[in-house]
Structure 1
Amino acid sequence: MEETTLVTGGAGFIGSHFVKRLLRREDVARVTVLDALTYAGHIENLGEAFLSPKLAFVQGSILDAILVDELVQRHTAVVHFAAESHVDRSFYEAGNFLAANVLGTHTLLDAAARFGVDKFVHVSTDEVYGPLETGAATEDFPLRPTVPYAASKAASDLVALSYFHTYGVPVCVTRSSNNYGPCQHPEKIIPLFVTNLLKSRPLTLHGDGRHVRNWLHVEDNCAGIELVLRGGTPGEAYNIGGGTDLTNRELTGRILTACGADWDAVTYVPDRRSNDIRYAMDWSKIAHDLGYQPQRDFETGVAETVAWYHANPGRWAPLLRTPAAPQSQSSITAPAGC
């Protein structure tokens, strides 16, 4: 039986890379993207994917139960990326994060339970585990989020897994470390620093720069998500990591080198609130069970990412302005993309 997959948030950064990956598979008959095209979702991210006759695009919200029902019942699988995802925004828009990330996930799961999908992959984050001074979180580690964004994702993880135990929905959860790569919105640290340097603006480093994050190329994360879609055990969570652990100061140094800049461009500012000191995950489960291994080294990945931002100012420069209202569905064409 050929697979038909509904991808929520498929015009976002990670979702659009995943959609293109699915479209390259011969056993995938149709991919439908459902995306609200908020400030972080852009139709241009899909780019050449619109050349595929297998792609359908629907502009809409995962909170729209009627629309979600209509779409879910026509697909064999759901891969759920759609979410509010920026930590700083969650400080003053917590209600929006809870609505989109928790209630939106519930709307999708409720439809999946009634229409009997073959697989539901809920995409999450390592931030649900909260800060760890030492060691690394396995999938059974307690969820201890410290900011509204991470709390909304932890809640949605638990709702998703509850739908497996209560209703038998074949749910898997993936939790990845920080993604980077082409097409990412410039609010996130790597594209923010790269685009600031391209515009000859200073970089601001919070606190003393000791905060540690794991950096994973978006294509490696998508490879892991696809493995979970194909072979993940329903009711299980899978950590997707294996990138490069860096302090924010080390990350800044790598970006400066990749952009041919020096430390004179860096200004230190007071640390932001609830800035967790370190995230770390153990990803041995997905490596052992599904054969996952990341392929991109950080230096090459960052160099490619910098090259993309340098070559595509028309894609990111407008995003530095106040976000415009979403375009209407009738105005959507097949634009150039990543």
Structure 2
Amino acid sequence: MRRILVTGGAGFIGSNFVHYLVEHTDAYVVVLDKLTYAASPEALEPLPADRVELVEGDVTDTGLVDSLVGSLTGAEDAVVHFAAESHNDNSLRDPSPFIRTNIVGTFEILEAVRRHGVRLHHVSTDEVYGDLELDDPARFTETTPYLPSSPYSASKAGADHLVRAWVRSFEVAATISNCSNNYGPWQHIEKFIPRQITNVLAGGRPKLYGAGENVRDWIHAADHSSAVWTILNRGQIGHTYLIGADGEQKNLEVVRMILSILGRPEDDFDHVTDRAGHDLRYAIDPTKLRTELGWEPQFADFRAGLADTIEWYRANSDWWRPHKDAVESEYAARGQ
């Protein structure tokens, strides 16, 4: 049986990928996760124990990482590296965990796959490219220069550079993907879409940074998962692939859409203090992924995917509601 080590596999995007593997492949999945506040081991509980193993540990732990990677002895075994600190606001308050996990952790993964000759796919973000002007028709491509604007995006850019250097210097068999903003089940309620959904479900009002003109390119986590699996199996070693679903939306329009789906007036939200250094617009050009590897998103209709996500949060209030007050208190302390 093919074995896949998924770092950060109890996090939002990582756990969705583990679900994808169980549903669409016969692989045995080993999850390495530090189980920080952003992890949801509950997301893995419904999965069969004979298919998924959860190892609690830090991706910067040299011995543990080496042991797990060393257990991948099959020709098709691989590491998919999702583990990352990823919340921009948190990186502005304390960058140090982002440097340790995103840069040092990636170094440890690279050294382990180099020692054991294991295939690696490294999951990154479009935020490494900085941002685009709101009226710029351009989109990010695989050749867009890096211009990160936060400690989070800078740490991910550094990790990407390490992967490319290890491919060139040590012939590590690795690919990279840079993805746009994800949404879907199990996303922490500190993030934009689930925060707005749960605000309404809890009887409150959505909170919109500034004027809400900032644009994000949204993709459902299930589509991200299928794209990563496609790249792992068919991508060219040393290549980067951008993952997107043509889902550009202004933050204002996303909030209005959530309110509309939930039967609330579209102006029933509060403007709050804008984020420091808030990137204006992200936009992914996924042409290479689609033309070279034949990938297509299943959630091409953003409103339909958003409605499904809202229903998931409605049905799983026992998971998010115990944490809601604490998250909102932290935002309120910052005027957000």
Asked if these proteins are the same fold (TM beyond 0.5), I'd say yes
Tell me the equivalent position of 2:70.
73
Q: Secondary structure at the match of 2:39?
A: coil
Check whether the contact 1:243–1:298 (CA below 8 A) recurs between aligned residues. Answer: no
**Which residue is 1:7 aligned to?**
6
Q: Which amino acid aligns with 1:309?
A: Y
Shift of 1:280: 1.2
The answer to whether structure 1 residue 219 and structure 2 residue 222 are counterparts is yes
Supply the distance in 1 between the matched residues of 2:287 and 2:25 (Cα, whole angstroms).
29
Q: Deviations over 1:153-175 (max 9, x none)?
A: 11101111111111111111111
Q: Aligned with 2:281: secondary structure? A: coil
In structure 2, C-alpha distance between the alignment counterparts of 1:178 and 1:26, rounded to whole Å: 25
Task: Determine which of 250, 261, 267 is the counterpart of 1:258.
Answer: 261
Report the equivalent of 2:330. Answer: none
Identity of aligned residues (%): 43
Cα distance in 1 for partners of 2:254, 2:189 equals 16
Corresponding residue for residue 122 of structure 2:
122
TM-score of the aligned structures, taking structure 2 as reference length: 0.92
Let me know the Cα RMSD of the aligned residues: 1.3
Paired residue secondary structure (2:46): helix
**TM-aligned CA deviation for residue 312 of structure 1:** 1.0
| Corresponding residue for residue 19 of structure 1 | 18
Superposed CA offset, 1:39-93 (max 9, x none): 01111011321x2412111000001100001000112200000100001000012
Give the Cα separation in 1 of the matches to 2:175 and 2:129: 17
Matches within 5 A, 1:1-338: 2-28=1-27, 30-49=28-47, 51-75=48-72, 76-117=77-118, 119-133=119-133, 134=136, 135-296=138-299, 297-320=301-324, 322=326
Contact 1:184 1:191 in 2 (8 A): yes
Q: Deviations over 1:157-198 (max 9, x none)?
A: 111111111111111111110100111100111100000001
- Runs of at least 4 residues of structure 1 off by over 4 A? none
Q: Under a length normalisation based on structure 1, what TM-score does the superposition of the two structures give?
A: 0.92
CA distance in structure 1 between the partners assigned to 2:123 and 2:117 by the alignment:
19
> Per-residue CA shift, 1:277-334, capped at 9, x if unaligned?
11112110000111111111211111111111111111111232559xxxxxxxxxxx
Q: Contact between 1:185 and 1:319, CA under 8 Å: does it hold in 2?
A: no
* Other-structure match for 1:328: none
Q: 2:332 maps to what in 1? A: none
**Distance (whole Å) between structure 2 residues aligned to residue 63 and residue 322 of structure 1:** 28
Q: What code does the residue aligned with 1:116 have?
A: G
Q: Which amino acid aligns with 2:129?
A: Y
The answer on whether the counterparts of 2:223 and 2:298 sit within 8 Å (CA) in structure 1 is: yes
Q: Which has the higher contact order (CA 8 A, sep 6+)?
A: 1
Which residue does the alignment assign to 1:327? none
Superposed displacement of residue 263, structure 1 = 3.7
Query: In 2, Cα distance between the equivalents of 1:165 and 1:189?
Result: 37
The number of aligned residues is 319
Decide whether the 8 Å contact of 1:228 with 1:290 is kept in 2.
Answer: yes
Give yes or no for contact 1:172–1:232 (8 Å, CA) kept in 2: yes
* C-alpha distance in structure 1 between counterparts of 2:311 and 2:26, whole Å: 33
Report if the CA contact (8 A) 1:23-1:52 is conserved. Answer: no
Q: Provide structure 1 residue ranges, at least 5 long, that are not aligned to the other structure.
A: 324-338
Q: Distance in 1 between matches of 2:55 and 2:184?
A: 25
Matched AA of 1:124: S
Q: Distance in 1 between matches of 2:14 and 2:295?
A: 19
